[in-house]
Chain A
Amino acid sequence: MRWYFIRFLSGLIHDIVQHSEEGYPEEVCGVMLSPSDTSDLVISLRRMKNSHDGPRQSRYSIDPMELYAADNEATKEGMLIVGIYHSHPDSPAKPSKFDLDHSFPWYKYVITSVVEGKVKDTRCWAMNNDRTAFMEEAIVEVEIRK
């Protein structure tokens, strides 16, 4: 049996929660960065603009050029984009059908559920390789000592 989990430096989950609450009732999104040799440890986040040009309560999209710039910058800093986080205003922290249709197997997806402006749940999902379903991964927060 394999245990699925993703590690976050402590404080980062709090930042995702804060971003989700600030953006409510719209969805917010951002990217999660790891050192390029340790892809299961998220050490930094970067907020992205939700550039969906319809109602943003149930949709988000990241401008490809903004993502490309973030990706290049990460490379320069020895990091890698390993996942995407986004919020679900007033709905559960589970991937929607739309999420399934638009996700990639190489990213982890953190979803927050924001109910009436407060984050009630934060979960992480990874897509299986044939792109038919998501599997949940446990979120583990870690302290790194110098």
Chain B
Amino acid sequence: MKVRISIPGTIRQRVGGKGEFVTDAGTVKEAMSALVSQYPDLRDYLFSGEERLRNFINMYVNGDDIRTMGGLDTKLKDGDTIIIVPSVAGGGPESELTLNEIMRYDRHLIMPEVGVNGQKKLKAASVLVVGVGGLGTPAATYLAAAGVGRIGLVDFDRIEFSNLHRQVLYSEEDVGKSKVEVARTRLMAVNPNVVIETYPVRLDSSNALDIIRNYDVILDGTDNFPTRYLVNDASVLVGKPVVHSSIYRFEGQASVFMPGRGPCYRCLYPEPPPPGLVPSCAEGGVFGVLPSVMGSIQAVESLKLILGVGEPLIGRLLIFDALEMQFRELKVKKDPSCPICGSNPSIKALIDYEEFCGLNRNINSDEEIESDLLQSWLKEGKRVEILDVREPYENQIWQIPGAKHIPLSQLRNRLNELDPNVPVVAYCQVGSRSLAAVRLLKEKGFGTAKSLRGGIDAWAVKADQSVRGH
């Protein structure tokens, strides 16, 4: 059989050969013998020891790798072309453990489930922590301590005084500083061997794919529905597992959403709840230790995914009740008609998640009032009924002076307590329940009713610094 061997420039240059060599051969091995007998220097470049192709030399017959066929014994036909091409690869030193690391991770290294290989996997791995708050701070701390090589932190927020009862990575002197910056400093102190990357941005449809793409595991520590759906969809689109948790008061949930292996967040919750129905931590409160339990569970699941050990929380929703001190588990099935991970997905790119969750949408300007304007109305002595729609235990903490109290749940039955001729300004903690109240009032003939934008939180900051002690 007449066959042609094509030799790449770099190799032929070194051996004084031509780019092409034509010979008679029935197998690749015979063709190579003919080649190296003509150019003996080539033997050492192509073969190691006795006729074994070097590891990083590839040979293709008519475009097919001979390793997937008969190796050097691959048969040849008349007119076949053999291509020789080196396989060029390399990399950084990342996966080798230093002496410092061997000492630091000793208690990991002596466990068979981790060991040196597992610890190298952790070192080579990356986790993106979305939201560096109650869940994100304990999770990131354990990931850094455990030696996850690269940790990304996404959070737009600055540290607030009311974060300190649960976000134990931060201290009082940090109030007002960027969360990701302070977290980065603290985590570097916990373990200088890890790389901390910070994103002081609001994760949105324009940046989520680019950020998420760069990490192996996504740890969702967000506190709101739009970001949760965004993290889910972006991760499904680029095929990354999400270690999820959410918390409220004394209850936490956790699960792992692994594309291709189990359900996603949309399979579990196809639709977000209507705005205002499920209160956030800012609105409903959270027991300080709860996020630390749940964030630690997220760290456990992330490390297991990287190490490839144990049973990951895929297809299972873990529910922790701190008051009862009980863990329960629900099975979650993949929804074949899921709009993002189903067999015929309708979502193929990121959407507007604020709108999807019913936020920032259809709020008419006549439905809300800014706290500054309300403050000046009060100074002018304008007649206005201030209505507190929070639950009784909430308004014991503090309230706007002179407010009438009717919880949203009772409003429909207590409308007769309000004078339709006096403008009503309703408020709650952050302005979502009061918006629902205003819509109800307008429907019932209170055309001038308004909701205090941002709730009493905004009032405290903007209008009445004395309401809060700091």
B111 CB, nearest partner CB in chain A, Å: 23
A75 close to chain B: CB less than 8 A: yes
Q: Identify which of B92, B150, B214 gathers the most chain A CB atoms within 10 Å of its CB.
A: B92
What's the tally of chain A residues with a CB closer than 8 Å to chain B?
A: 43
**Contact-residue size bin, chain B (C-beta under 8 Å from the other chain):** 20 to 34
Asked if A62 and B88 sit within 8 Å, CB to CB, the answer is yes
Residue of A nearest to B19 (CB): A75
Asked if B86 and A64 sit within 8 Å, CB to CB, the answer is yes
Asked if B90 and A98 sit within 8 Å, CB to CB, the answer is yes
Chain B: interface secondary structure?
mixed
Report the bound CA distance from A50 to B328 in whole Å: 45
**Given that A82-B10, A104-B56 are contacting pairs, would A58 and B216 also be in contact in the complex, using a CB cutoff of 8 Å?**
no
B124 close to chain A: CB less than 8 A: yes
**Given that A25-B214, A39-B13, A81-B9 are contacting pairs, would A62 and B89 also be in contact in the complex, using a CB cutoff of 8 Å?**
yes
Q: Identify which of A68, A82, A107 gathers the most chain B CB atoms within 10 Å of its CB.
A: A68
B197 close to chain A: CB less than 8 A: yes
Asked if B90 and A68 sit within 8 Å, CB to CB, the answer is no
B192 close to chain A: CB less than 8 A: no
Q: Identify which of B83, B93, B96 gathers the most chain A CB atoms within 10 Å of its CB.
A: B93
| Chain B residues closer than 8 Å to A57, beta-carbon distance | 92, 94, 124, 126, 149-150
| Chain A residues closer than 8 Å to B63, beta-carbon distance | 65
Report the bound CA distance from A82 to B60 in whole Å: 22
B14 close to chain A: CB less than 8 A: yes
Asked if B216 and A55 sit within 8 Å, CB to CB, the answer is yes
B280 close to chain A: CB less than 8 A: no
| Chain B residues closer than 8 Å to A52, beta-carbon distance | 89, 91
| Chain B residues closer than 8 Å to A60, beta-carbon distance | 89-91
6 sampled A-B residue pairs with Cβ under 8 A: A36-B9, A60-B89, A60-B90, A81-B9, A97-B93, A106-B13
* A residues neighboring B (CB under 8 Å): 25-27, 29, 36, 39, 52, 55, 57-62, 64-65, 67-68, 71, 74-75, 80-82, 84, 86, 88-92, 94-99, 102-104, 106-107, 109
